[in-house]
Chains A and B, each alone.
Chain A
Amino acid sequence: MEELLIFGWLAWIFPIVGALLTPLLAKIGDKVRDYGAVFFSFMAVVSTVSLSSYLFKEHVEWPLHNSIVWLSVEGSPILSEIRAGILVDPLSIIMSNVVSIIAFLIMVYSLGYMKNEEGLTRYWFFMNLFIGNMLLLVFSDNLIQMLFGWEGVGLCSYGLIGFYYKDSKDGWKKYWVGEGDEAYPPSHAGLKAFIMTRFGDLLLFVGAFIILAFAGTLNFVELQNGAISRVPVWALLPAIIFFFGGPIGKSAQLPLMEWLPDAMAGPTTVSALIHAATMVKAGVYLVARMFPILYATKLASDSSTLVLMFYFIAWIGVLTSFVAGTQAMVSRELKKVLAYSTVSQIGYMMMALGIAGISVEFITGYVGSIFHLMSHALFKAALFLAAGSVIHATGSRFMYDMGGLKKYMPITFWCMAIASCSLAGVPILSGFWSKDMILEASLISGEYLLLFFALSTVIVTSFYTFRMIGLVFYGQSVKEQEHEHHLHEAPAIMWVPYAILVAGTLILGVGGYFVRHWLIESFEYLMVSLHGEYVGDLTAEYLISFLSVMCVIIGFVPAYIFYIRRSKSFDLSSKAFSSKIWTFLAKRWYINKLYYSLFVYPTVSISNWLYENLESRVVDGLNYYIASLAKQASVKIRKVQSGNFNDSLTLFLLGVFVAVIILCFIILG
């Protein structure tokens, strides 16, 4: 039973070793380094796939668990022994396979996409380090070890967003992100991503420490087995709200979502791997990991306050998904559309987990979230890689520099079209099934307001998705003449990986119904332990399918008219009223601006002000004032030393007199 568990360790050790070897392999030769890096990511695939055989075994006692002592703090009531371990259960197996397989495909794609770039040793190092840390995060059996992976992926993200750290102004069209006063060079975007997610992590720290102070452990298995019940309800609710700060930051949810759109300054491969398919899902993963623990506590507690934490995450998710979706409607940059869309789709996953906690039939929401995570990873990675090919061919990240690419890049077009349909939720692609499951969960839970927002987001999603396809592949390009001769299909090493991903989304889609049931079966053990039930309401399923298809059509029609057929006015923003909305959305609801004027600029100006006034004037000034007092005093006292014999004699006698008095006191008293 336990014989395969070693792969839970190897899965993340292989890529990390690969990363460490990269600088050495680079000494042998560039080809060795490149293929070596891909090889180590392949070893991760081998490891995770071997683990997945557990999913098909009967009567596995989840979770499988294996740990060693890492360090100890003797005598301490908390954290007296910290163990490193791996946790293998359906959640980690599914997540790790999504990560490793997509990562491997992207590594292969990188061989073509990153060819002839400078600093490739750094690139491969960070990519492999990322894969290793991500799998470490997934397999960790306790939060502390998970934080190693968690912060590690953040660090790799920082390094890779800022990959083109020279911030050259000449490559503005290709390497920067945003435009106008929100245009950021890569190194700025990397810094922003790190600081924002780090702030989320600090919130997570606070939550974790409160749990730790009562429960005495941060091990997921121990928490599940009752340690969490040692945390009183009044402390648990704020602790969990703080705790969610980490996932909110990492998964770019409101109010910490602003870093992800700007993270698009990194190479497209990085956007695909880190900022779409895997790392940003870490937040969802952590919430899903904590879900059974929290749900069990909710069941056990008498008061109804604990359910608030699920409402919290559900509302965060649905609002994010709506806000980010509307921003994608007007974005002029191809990768940014996809980035907003990622934020929006992750919002769905968060919402699903929240809803799962609200309802008795938690399994629909829970599995819906994981299903959507899988299917989103596939189609979004495909979309990004295809977008990479497009940007590679046109040399610009702006969609208005594209257009009419259908005839030049047919394979890319079809791949992107299918993946887009999946994103929009067109039946029978994978996105349709997974999104419907989430919508169904919100219908069953009876939270109609959430459902309303979620359905509106479907309309929005459908609109921006087909707008993107229209802008990139249809119509006549403004610049077509200019780069007609080098507009060509991507090489096979680039299109094969995304074709595979698209095939994956097709397969998951055609078999969507069965995948759904297989997933529910895989997580059946949770239903047993958490006393859940799965009824499966056919009416609800049909109703939701109908509603969601209607929403897709509502979004598709205007996108078709304006951007694919281009029969009406090309640009909606020409009309006065809509132009105001357009600007509002294009300025990202002014959230980004607000953060800069609330936190970024003030930090530096407050610092300068304090340095000039408090530090230099008051504190330093006080010191010199004291020094000058001493000097003045010395000038005055010096007058006593006049050198006159009579003065000295008087003083001497005075001194003797005082001494005698003191002596008297001592002797008598």
Chain B
Amino acid sequence: MIAFSLLQIIVVPIFMAIIIMLFGKMLEKKCGWLSFASLFYILCILLTEILNLSKGGYSLLESYSFTPLIGDFTLLLDGISGVVALTITLLSLVISLYSIKYMEHEENFDLYNVLYLLYYSGMVGTVLSTNLVIFFLFFELMLIPSWILIGIWGTGEREKVALKYFLFTEAGAVIMLAGIGSTYMISGSFDLFVVAERTLFMPKTILYPIVVLILIGLLVKMAIFPLHNWLPDAHAEAPTPISALLSPAMIGIGGYAAIRILYTSFPTVAFDNSFTFVLTLLSVITMAYGGIMAFSQDDIKRLLAFSSISQMGYMLFGIASASIIGLTGSLIIYVSHGLSKAALFMISGVFMHNLKTRKISDLGGLASKMPLTAISTLVSFLGLAGVPPLLGFWGEFFIFAGAVYGSFNPIDYLKLVTVIVGILVSILTAGYGLWTVRRIFYGELNEKYKGAKDPEWEMLVPILIMILLAIVVGVYPAPLTSIVSNIIKNLF
């Protein structure tokens, strides 16, 4: 046991951010290594605590008294928050390494690191907190630094895009705040578990609007159709390392929070049949819409952005299945999408940094020049498509199995048809993925890029780590599934 371990996870990056802010000008490029080191330290803490989880009844709770009105400052590490936090930390760690090389020609690298660490702290705080107000505070903390990061280091119409991103998410957040306030009004508490006890016997008609309010905020974050419009712009124009973090790590938090808040505090609504049907329908539309949109993109990053929308559809699909296996699948999708999409965004960064282009139509025939990049791209897209032995297979398999199971218990044909359509449209993912691989890496080489080669190690190693993890955990996912399902089963 490490003292104050969960508090450290949140506070150490903030502390380090202050140090970099103070001494950044002296440190110059070294501040990248400083944030790398602090994230590495956090990863070690997190891993130790997660490995120790089985000794402490699969959850670790840290509580600090805060204000009496709001309740305690409670942090919870259990199977599901642990897995999500671990993914975020791992991604942030490797991407901070990647940033050092990628941002070498950019100015104000120290400020970049300050914001990067704050952003990390916001994400991980959102995941660990179980008090709705604290949750909301961290939710905002992850928004503001990322807004500045897009606004300063982004590409294209970055200020406009950043504002759009901010307004969309903020609008969602405000609606969610209304939901949080109403939750307090009916239950008198902000603590998820206390709320859970008090809402258990309340009529659904009261709970429904509250859940919808909270959910809207989360669905905006997940970019579920028709609330997705901010995402393609933000992901495409953010600096690539931030895209690599925004896309898989941050938007998925919406899904995680939906599991945590919905299934913990409002189970009666979460298991309601018409409610899950609407969610299923939304998720299938999102899967199909994101996938279809990806076909018309010539900008790699924009293609990946639409692909993220589609993947969030998958995640919601699992959440809507209201089954243990489906929820487990959703969290596996979170991890596997994290690994694959981060790798893909980093690869798009390789093209931008080394070849100075992000247009697919410019590229072609690069497989012989950049073999490792080609393999990584292929593996990552296959991971999104859910091809074994990659982790994505288990995610898809579980959410689909859960959804079919869910629509037979109780039998609901309309839902079953929706689910089958959802399963079949997932062919789009394989389609745009492999088509993109073909357009970038096969065929004839563009003369301009005769000198192209695999990137330097600072950029290659992070990509390869993602690929290897996706394969290894895919072949042997037992630790992941057992730690997740151990918590999920308590929700049922």
Indicate if the CB atoms of A603 and B431 lie closer than 8 Å: yes
Which of B96-104, B201-209, B386-394 contacts its partner?
B386-394
Tell me if B's interface is mostly helix, strand, loop or mixed.
Answer: helix
| B365 at interface, CB cutoff 8 A | yes
Indicate if the CB atoms of A72 and B388 lie closer than 8 Å: no
Q: Given A167-B444, A202-B424, A610-B296: A151 and B393 within 8 A (CB)?
A: yes
Indicate if the CB atoms of A76 and B489 lie closer than 8 Å: yes
Indicate if the CB atoms of B293 and A607 lie closer than 8 Å: yes
Which of A191-199, A347-355, A643-651 contacts its partner?
A191-199
Indicate if the CB atoms of B427 and A198 lie closer than 8 Å: yes
Chain B residues with CB below 8 A from A76, complex form: 323-325, 328, 485, 489
Q: Given A73-B481, A76-B328: A214 and B488 within 8 A (CB)?
A: no
Which residues of B (461-492) have their CB < 8 Å from a CB of A? 476-478, 481-482, 485-486, 488-489, 492
Which residues of A (57-108) have their CB < 8 Å from a CB of B? 69-79
- Complex Cα distance, B441 from A79, in Å, reads 39
Q: Given A76-B328, A152-B389: A195 and B405 within 8 A (CB)?
A: no
Chain B residues with CB below 8 A from A214, complex form: 408
| B262 at interface, CB cutoff 8 A | no
- Complex Cα distance, B389 from A198, in Å, reads 15
| A628 at interface, CB cutoff 8 A | no
Which of B105-113, B265-273, B395-403 contacts its partner?
B395-403
B408 CB contact (under 8 Å) in A213, A607, A615: A213
B296 CB contact (under 8 Å) in A162, A187, A607: A607
A202 CB contact (under 8 Å) in B297, B423, B477: B423
A623 CB contact (under 8 Å) in B164, B397, B426, B430: B164
Chain A residues with CB below 8 A from B424, complex form: 199, 202-203, 206
Chain B residues with CB below 8 A from A71, complex form: 476-478, 481-482
Chain A residues with CB below 8 A from B404, complex form: 206, 209-210, 212-213
Shortest Cβ distance from A186 into B: residue: B442
Tell me if A's interface is mostly helix, strand, loop or mixed.
Answer: helix
Indicate if the CB atoms of A202 and B441 lie closer than 8 Å: no
Interface centre among B365, B368, B438, B489 (most CB of A within 10 A): B438
> How many interface residues does B have (CB within 8 Å)?
57
| B258 at interface, CB cutoff 8 A | no
Indicate if the CB atoms of B292 and A607 lie closer than 8 Å: yes
Indicate if the CB atoms of A72 and B482 lie closer than 8 Å: yes
Shortest Cβ distance from A615 into B: residue: B293
Chain B residues with CB below 8 A from A195, complex form: 427, 430-431, 434
The interface bits of chain A over 178-220 (1 if a CB of B lies within 8 angstroms of the residue's CB, else 0) are 0000000101100100110011001101100110111000000
| A147 at interface, CB cutoff 8 A | yes
Shortest Cβ distance from B404 into A: residue: A209
Shortest Cβ distance from A610 into B: residue: B292
The interface bits of chain B over 291-325 (1 if a CB of A lies within 8 angstroms of the residue's CB, else 0) are 01111110000000000000000000000000111
Chain A residues with CB below 8 A from B5, complex form: none
| A606 at interface, CB cutoff 8 A | yes
| B452 at interface, CB cutoff 8 A | no
| B238 at interface, CB cutoff 8 A | no
- Complex Cα distance, B296 from A191, in Å, reads 18
A191 CB contact (under 8 Å) in B325, B426, B438: B438
- Complex Cα distance, B402 from A213, in Å, reads 8
- Complex Cα distance, B435 from A198, in Å, reads 14
Indicate if the CB atoms of A162 and B387 lie closer than 8 Å: no
Indicate if the CB atoms of A168 and B292 lie closer than 8 Å: no
| B367 at interface, CB cutoff 8 A | yes
Indicate if the CB atoms of B387 and A151 lie closer than 8 Å: yes
Indicate if the CB atoms of B486 and A206 lie closer than 8 Å: no
| A631 at interface, CB cutoff 8 A | no
Indicate if the CB atoms of A604 and B434 lie closer than 8 Å: no
B127 to chain A, nearest CB (A): 22
| A574 at interface, CB cutoff 8 A | no
Can you list 17 A-B pairs with a CB-CB distance of less than 8 A? A69-B478, A71-B478, A71-B481, A72-B481, A74-B489, A76-B489, A144-B397, A147-B397, A195-B431, A198-B427, A202-B427, A209-B401, A209-B405, A212-B405, A213-B409, A603-B428, A607-B295
Chain A contact residues, CB within 8 Å of chain B: 69-79, 144, 147-148, 151-152, 154-155, 158, 162, 165-168, 185, 187-188, 191, 194-195, 198-199, 202-203, 205-206, 209-210, 212-214, 235, 603-604, 606-608, 610-611, 615, 619-620, 623
* Interface contacts beyond A167-B442, A191-B434, A623-B229: sample of 4 additional A-B pairs, CB < 8 Å, sorted by A: A71-B477, A77-B323, A77-B405, A195-B427
